[in-house]
Structure 1
């Protein structure tokens, strides 16, 4: 029996994974732990084959946070992650263990464009566009520094995750689908990952006890308009998709300020190359671990 600890109670991904693994009850023991406060530091991590670390602050409107909130992103997404992994490694005392970290496609930056397809390949270097993405990247760098032959680090950089009760940008699409009678049929492409597919992928990583950086995604790219249409249909609604104003919407992608930003966010192109699923750990220079 494999023993797995999920760090971060009541998280969407953690609870989804725990529910998914119930079908394999006889082969896996799943525990969860609350990472608030300091009580978790007294737990014994040595009995676990894998730790699935999902505790963290999710993406928000980073333009509207204080300096204190900004530092909290680093404290939780970076420092807590590294501290948890280091404790696990220390508790193992030389035994083999695996630490799985939920990073994000956000470490490559938020740049999307309605008029240009952006493809992330195995050669694409991380380039966070805000402190949220940087807090994730700094956690990756710190984890890489403590990896060892008996301590496997698996980093997942998923694109937008969707599914029942999912949060974040997907909920914005749900709101649009429930309100709008029409929606632009722009032919864009986005990498996305269905929550069940993510759960399957995490189980595979645990079964193989492997390490590295993984870029999981669904087999097919998603068009924003088709996803909005499909969400509406599940609610018993029909949305009319129109293309006759596509030229104007594409023109808005060049507009400065908020209009252009929202247009590109909604209809921009951002995909992982389908040829890659795993890339090797990059080499980080010592000063790249440091941050202000």
Structure 2
């Protein structure tokens, strides 16, 4: 049986649907008890959470729940809050899982453990130096280190997955903002950006997590992505195509973009638009034989299909 945390979140909802469709036995850890038979209330996740009932009879834990990356964090000590949930909460669960006889612990981390950018043509690999820069990335890195130590002490298998930006139905944050810009036909000064960034469709990430449940060689760290890197300019155009709306892009020189971002105090946001962040997925392919089942364009089509920003079907299309 599988214990899934974060089952109601963006990735968790997609994973839960796929696991149920495959007929897997799952138990969802939730804050408050519900009438659904596959749930177990555990309260808020932290260093003192009791997981006894939730872990009873569990072979595999898939730990998705976390304090997520927050753009404008209002906490007085953000790193302390991230550590309480993402480090202490994760390691508390892992220790109790090992003690209960759980065989494998799958941890969804982040590419932010490696850093925020890569030199052109030099993608991150599993052997790249860890260099997290923000509290979220730091907390995930510390959780990874603690999990590796627990594996050494107990023999429980640990799978660590570091995805880049995940997109799919219900995506929020910057990706959702991008769809809104395109839907409204807002001209964007992003028509001359030649960076390269890795992404991963929700369906591809879900497929990889499921691969790691059973594969005998999965108990290690993996970087995953779609396998096709895109510039910001190309991504905007292809999102527009998926939505049936042309992206209105103005080719503003990179120097002007950087200067404008500096004046507005938006260097970090601008870096995500024009910086490189590439991921090498060859280890996942070679060790696990994993190939992303969904193309970038198919993933974008699905991400935008049910959004409020997608182009509605014409009357002729609805009649077909």
Partner of 1:15: 13
Q: 2:113 aligns with which of 107, 112, 115?
A: 107
1:44-84: CA deviation from partner (whole Å, max 9, x where unpaired): 5241221100111110126x433344322111011000000
Partner of 2:238: 230
Partner of 1:179: 184
Partner of 2:144: 140
| Structure ranking higher on relative contact order (CA contacts 8 Å, 6+ apart) | 1
1: distance between equivalents of 2:263 and 2:160?
35
Q: 1:126 aligns with which of 130, 140, 147?
A: 130
- The 8 Å contact of residues 214 and 279 in structure 1, kept in 2 or not, is answered as no
Partner of 2:306: none
Distance 1:74 1:267, change over 3 A: same
1: distance between equivalents of 2:261 and 2:128?
24
Offset of 1:20 from its aligned partner? 1.7
2: distance between equivalents of 1:165 and 1:263?
24
1: distance between equivalents of 2:274 and 2:27?
39
Offset of 1:127 from its aligned partner? 1.1
Distance 1:253 1:104, change over 3 A: farther
Bigger Cα displacement from structure 2, 76-85 vs 123-132: 123-132
Distance 1:238 1:135, change over 3 A: same
TM-score by length of 1: 0.81
Offset of 1:42 from its aligned partner? 3.3
Offset of 1:107 from its aligned partner? 1.2
Partner of 1:90: 99
Bigger Cα displacement from structure 2, 147-156 vs 131-140: 147-156
1:75-100: CA deviation from partner (whole Å, max 9, x where unpaired): 101100000011110011xxx61000
Distance 1:50 1:168, change over 3 A: farther
2: distance between equivalents of 1:150 and 1:112?
34
**More strand as a share of residues:** 1
Alignment of 1:62-81 (within 5 A): 64-81=73-90
TM-score by length of 2: 0.75
The answer for unaligned runs of 5 or more in structure 2 is: 31-41, 288-320
Offset of 1:9 from its aligned partner? 3.8
Offset of 1:253 from its aligned partner? 8.4
1:234-287: CA deviation from partner (whole Å, max 9, x where unpaired): 4332223343x335446548957724433222121110134343899xxxxxxx
Partner of 1:283: none
